[in-house]
Chains A and B, each alone.
Chain A
């Protein structure tokens, strides 16, 4: 239940956790290599580069080469983390991700930093609202957006031991810690249940999981009980969990820091409809329009990706 959550203080940005975990892993694992495209600062990787110059490759501002080089390194057994802002990495270097990583099966960990609208007021050039959609349509790459520091740490550790292509995206904002209802476990492709209730399922991913939890608490006061899921892995989707909450709840809301086209929401809708689970359903995300300008939070607020916006949508779906 939402009441059990007691760790609301923002800790660190997932991005910071990412760099700390890598630095820790690289002490013993000399196969770990970080490749950056003048992105070591924004990736919080300056200390990594200083401590492990032999395990760091800088390619300059050249994302296509970043991914191609990473693929070559991975083909020789390196555990490669190719790090660049998600907006450039998954657009400019999309063909390299598709061919050199996914199709050639080079197990690169493609790391999209400052993802979604993390860069806020820098505008659409710097937003990545297409990455789930683009990568979901590519065979042989997992798509993962950790919600909090715990998921980030687990995801990086697991990725370093995973011998297949994976895309991970993080934001820059300090994230509160979220506790799973049944003790913390983390596996790619297995959603985490952050709160449980039988009225509505709120399925979120990445930095939208916390506002989903806040909405669940607000709803609880109104006697609407929500299940909140951190669906950190968008592909492969945890369809077992989806089935379960669809049977258990009267309505489903999905939330993502991504276009409402082609992301988590459409992935869930596609599975549910094709398997006969028809429930009142709403996809929340960034609409298909010229994105409003402002900070990440202002953009979230503008599109209702916050406590109020989510509770409004839930009430509408439940007609309450």
Chain B
């Protein structure tokens, strides 16, 4: 299997090959996400699987950050507002060498730093999140500091579609365009489901693009489970000079596992032994078919 290291997007292989390598990486990430969720007997399975490709492309293709540069004031920042999908983040951070992957065997265990939401006690995590509607305001402050200090770093934050009704998101959205933060990119993991029901039935936030546009953002809608579309979208940042960018990433909750896809119960469902074996088998087949 091809290992992707660091941020070699400029000097790496041509995009087609990189695309394949990234696709392999996504499948491997999904295998590990399920492995550690089963080990912890807890986790936000569906949402971690929906945002896997986004995190994969961010950490392996976009973000200028590594364990060595994590304390550098010039690093790119990634703030995961939908903190509950921490399993995806932890698996990706481990693959980047922020901490030994074995640490994840302690996920959600007594006295472990690897808890059910991101915490700065884990190397690679920028902010403690978990309560929804917090990532975007912090990202705005971080991007503002970059503008003040004339730094070139960029700030990325991943939002769930279910967290958009939190008013703080829209307070922050206003301020991001007011301050012309084109060093800021929000990604909405629009898997169209949340814990109770389809998001459009719980609290409809469509048309999402029009809302962000009205708040002064430059918007791009893509298939958030398509590696090539993700790479192309991030390559195009900022979408408009002087405006914050938002990628509305249409994704599938439970992506990659047939019986989990678009099923409410997998919001935080933990696979049984049999279900786990079936999921790994499906992912292995996907690897073979790439």
A residues whose Cβ falls under 8 Å from a Cβ of B: 33, 54, 57, 59-60, 62, 64-65, 67-78, 95-96, 99-100, 103-106
Contact = CB atoms under 8 A, between A and B. Distances in A.
Nearest to B132: A95
A77 B179 CA distance: 19
Interface size class of B (residues with CB under 8 A): 20 to 34
Contact of B137 (A54, A64, A103): A64
A179 to B, nearest CB: 40
Interface stretch (B18-26, B29-37, B101-109, B143-151): B143-151
Contact of A96 (B142, B148, B168, B174): B168
A69 B126 contact: no
B128 interface: yes
A82 to B, nearest CB: 10
A104 B144 contact: no
Contact of B73 (A54, A69, A77, A105): A77
A181 B133 CA distance: 49
A60 B171 CA distance: 9
A105 B131 CA distance: 16
Interface of B is mostly: helix
A59 B149 CA distance: 19
Given A65-B171, A65-B172, A69-B175, A96 B134 contact: yes
A6 B263 CA distance: 75
A59 B140 CA distance: 11
The 5 A-B residue pairs with the shortest CB-CB distance in the complex, in nearest-first order: A72-B141, A68-B137, A76-B145, A65-B171, A69-B141
Contacts of A68: 134, 136-138, 140-141, 168, 172
A100 B127 contact: yes
A286 to B, nearest CB: 30
A95 B134 CA distance: 9
B220 interface: no
Contacts of A57: 144, 179
B39 interface: no
A273 B28 CA distance: 58
Given A54-B148, A62-B171, A64-B168, A72 B134 contact: no
Given A68-B168, A69-B175, 20 more contacts: A57-B144, A57-B179, A59-B175, A65-B174, A68-B134, A68-B137, A68-B138, A69-B137, A69-B141, A69-B144, A69-B172, A71-B127, A72-B138, A72-B143, A76-B73, A77-B73, A78-B145, A99-B130, A99-B131, A100-B134
A105 B120 CA distance: 9
Tell which of B128, B138, B149 has the most Cβ of chain A within 10 Å.
B138
B128 A103 contact: yes
B167 interface: yes
Nearest to B155: A72
A71 B171 contact: no
A75 B130 CA distance: 18
A100 B141 CA distance: 11
A86 to B, nearest CB: 19
B139 interface: yes
Contacts of A78: 145, 148
Given A100-B134, A103-B128, A76 B142 contact: yes
A65 B145 CA distance: 15
A69 B168 contact: no
